[in-house]
Amino acid sequence: MTPTAGDGPADAAPRTVAAPTTNARLLATEFTEAEESPGLALWQVTNRWQAAQRAALKPLGLTHVQFVLLASLVWLQSDGPVTQKQLADHAAADVMMTSQVLRTLEEHELVTRAPHPGDRRARALAATDAGRALANRALAVVEECDRAFFEPVGTDVAQLTLLLRRLIDAGRA
């Protein structure tokens, strides 16, 4: 072990670091193997899942975020006028990014923005007939992609979903 200095407060004692050996890890982690990290596993799975979704949605001319916001809007508008903030909250998306994506969807005549009937400051979002039709076509593609992607999990997919919901709920607290 060799002491090191300069990494903490001036009056702190030098910490001791193991001298590197040929098989020692240089990253100070609690895990013996990288595969033990739930954060790394989530990152890897998320990247692979997003790539699969991108490929599935590409023939429909939608990005994944466009699909999520469009499908969320169709879902939410069943209950009445939807604001941009409500849509962003539902999708757990940044409000500014939501605005930019909505602008693109509006340019493609998939979404409209009109004065909100109950709030003069807000705009009421609505999917057009073409937007609803595209959202439903895309949903079939996305759900098929999900079935294929999560197939290796088998009957544990419901448990996986419950665990993911627990993380989502904890993030809201």
Average pLDDT estimate for 132-152: 98
Compute the average pLDDT of residues 112-130: 92
pLDDT value, residue 172: 79
Is 7's pLDDT higher than 70? no
Q: What is the pLDDT of residue 20?
A: 47
Does 18 score more than 80 pLDDT?
A: no
Tell me what pLDDT residue 13 has: 53
> In degrees, to the nearest 5, what angle opens at C-alpha 69 toward C-alphas 64 and 70?
95
Mean pLDDT along residues 9-35: 65
| Nearest by Cα to 115 from 74, 83, 80, 77 | 83
pLDDT at 117 over 70: yes
Report pLDDT for 67.
98
Average pLDDT, the chain: 88
| Mean pLDDT computed over 23-31 | 79
pLDDT tens, position by position, 53-104:
999 999 999 999 999 999 999 999 999 899 999 999 999 999 999 999 999 9
Write down the pLDDT at residue 77.
95
Burial (CB count within 10 angstroms: exposed 0-12, middle 13-18, buried 19+), residue 60:
middle
Q: What is the mean pLDDT of residues 111-133?
A: 93
- State the Cα–Cα distance between residues 76 and 106, nearest whole angstrom: 17
Q: What are phi and psi of 49, to 5 degrees?
A: -65, -45
Q: Of 21-30, 73-82, 159-168, which gets the smallest average pLDDT?
A: 21-30
- pLDDT band of residue 21 (cuts 50, 70, 90) is very low
Give the pLDDT score at 24: 61
The full set of domains in the chain, from first to last, is: 56-149 (1.10.10.10)
